[in-house]
Structure 1
Amino acid sequence: MAGGSPIRGSRIGAGRMGEADRGESAPRQRMMFFCANGHATRLAFSMDAEIPQTWDCPRCGLPAGQDQQAPPPALRNEPYKSHLAYVKERRTDADGEALLAEALAKVADRRTPLG
Structure 2
Amino acid sequence: MVNAGNAFKGKRIGTDAYGGMAGWQAESGRIPVVADRTIVSYWCMANHESRPTFAKLHEDEIPEVWDCCRCGRPAGRLPGVEPLVDCVEPFKSHLQYVKERRSDEEAARVLEQALCNLRARRTNLGSGLAT
Shorter chain as denominator, the TM-score bin is: 0.3 to 0.5
- Which has the greater radius of gyration? 1
Q: TM-score by structure 2 length?
A: 0.43
Q: TM-score by structure 1 length?
A: 0.48
Structure with greater proportional helix content: 2
